[in-house]
Structure formats: structure tokens, C-alpha cells
Structure 1
Amino acid sequence: MLPFEPGQLTELSFHLLPTSVLFKQGHQIRVAIAGHDKDLFARYPAQGTPEISVQRNTVNASYIDLPVSKGKRS
């Protein structure tokens, strides 16, 4: 993958490691986005602090697709 262009929108799609968490009705989750795995990937930019922006509007909407299990509930 080529480095991102500053100021340009880039669509990202990635899988998360599986985990099991029960969210009950009314519960909320917080998503923290960070980047950098120095042992596997080159750092962009090589120096300085990168800025990560998430679009939340009707033209460039962001979303998280979490699987829902309708299995046994306690």
C-alpha cells in the first residue's frame, strides 16, 4: 500500500481480532483509533505526529459493522 496523501480521504477496511463481549440494551461502546505497528509496517510520516481524522457526515459517513449473535441469552 502506498503512503496516504495528506488532506485526501482514504477508505479503510480491516478485521479485528475476535473477542466475545455482551453488550446489553442501552450499553455504549467507545472506539479509539490509533496507528503504528513498528515491527510490521513502515511509519508514515517517518517523523512527527500523524493526524487521523474520521469523517462523520452524510457525504462521507463512517461506520463500524459489528457481528450480532442471536444465540442463548442469560
Structure 2
Amino acid sequence: MKAHVLYDVEAQAPVSYTINTALKHDSIAMISIHYEPNVYYILDRAYDSLKEFYMIHLADSIFVSRLKRT
């Protein structure tokens, strides 16, 4: 099982979350995220969609992700 959580640091509580099986690839789950303005998104290297990174940028938010191994 995998959990994808949007966490509000100021309220110290989750805003939204989804739970998926480990068989569902993270890049597919990334498409269903509604990007909020002024949010930091911390993503693992499996989230590798440049289109989705650009959507985060357009939402006036910031993302941090690890590089994929080459």
C-alpha cells in the first residue's frame, strides 16, 4: 500500500490523502493530484512527469524531487 498525503504544516493536519496498492505507478497517481497555490510538493524519483512538474509551477507552487538513476 502507498499513501499520497497533502499535509498542512500550519494546521499540523492532512488536508487530503489517497491510498493505492503498490502496483499502481506513482506517475499515474500524480495525474490525479489537484495542485494548490503556495504549496511545497516533495516527490520521490518515481514521479518523473515533466508535464506535471510544469503544472505545479503554473499553480505557483514549488516541487522537490530526487533524480532518477541513469
The alignment's TM-score, normalised by the length of structure 2, stands at 0.24
Structure with more helix by fraction: 2
| Larger Cα-atom Rg | 1
Structure with more strand by fraction: 2
Work out which structure has the larger RCO, using CA pairs closer than 8 Å and 6 or more positions apart in sequence: 2
